[in-house]
Amino acid sequence: MPQDIKPTRSELLKVKKQIKLAKSGYSLLKKKRDGLILEFFKILKKAKTLREELVNEYRIALEKINIARTLESDLKVKSVAMAIKEIPNVKLTTKNIMGVKVPEIESSEIKKAFMERGYSAYSSSAIDETAAAYEKVVEKIILAAEIETSMRKLLNEIEKTKRRVNALEFVVLPSLTKIQSFIRLRLEEMERENIFRMKRIKAKVHVQ
């Protein structure tokens, strides 16, 4: 132990405060990490269900459009698609999940009534069913985009929080604890040296 280093009581108190603050931060970050993981798995469950629904809706839509193409011809199906002018209005906002801003997508009504689609002159039951099927697909895609982006943001925050927790647990706290131990031992050593010095002085005075 270096003899020229002379820490003070105030330095020991300062390190104690730093340890207390680090432990408090560690506890809060652990709670945040665990909460984020819980939220992530909740959304993951929704995403899995939604993905299955999207695949199913897309399969139905493909079947519908193939029937429409067979009954009405490719040209008519393309004409109907070109006749639709209105594009769904998508508005992107954010919501807060444990301090993480994730997207919230608001869109105008995707599913439309027959007269709202804008292709009445080209209408047939096969085309109507195809349009309705693809409207459902678009609804699922918008939901999937929101959920999967939220998952990505939460996962990034989880990784960032885990790194901070590990840094506190394996680097910061051990280092501060080591410094605290060193200061405490050095102060005790200095106190013993001082007591020994005082005894020597008293002994000399007594001899005189």
Q: Which two tokens stand for residue 76?
A: 């008519």
Q: Which two tokens stand for residue 46?
A: 């929704």
What are the pLDDT digits (tens) for 75-134? 888 877 777 766 667 778 888 988 899 888 876 666 665 556 666 555 788 888 888 898
Residue type present at position 58: Y
Domains of the chain, with CATH numbers?
Answer: 9-195 (1.10.287.3240)
pLDDT score at 2:
52
> Count of H helices and E strands in the chain?
4, 2
Give the C-alpha distances (Å, rounded to integers) separating 122 from 82, 86, 111, 168.
11, 16, 19, 67
pLDDT tens across the length of the chain (208 residues): 455 667 888 999 999 999 999 999 999 999 999 999 999 999 999 999 999 999 999 999 999 999 999 998 888 888 777 777 666 677 788 889 888 998 888 766 666 655 566 665 557 888 888 888 988 998 899 889 899 999 999 999 999 999 999 999 999 999 999 999 999 999 998 888 888 888 787 777 765 5
Q: What is the structure's pLDDT at 58?
A: 96
Task: Quote the mean pLDDT of the chain.
Answer: 86
CA torsion angle 23 25 30 33 (round to 10): -160
What's the token pair of residue 40? 């992530």
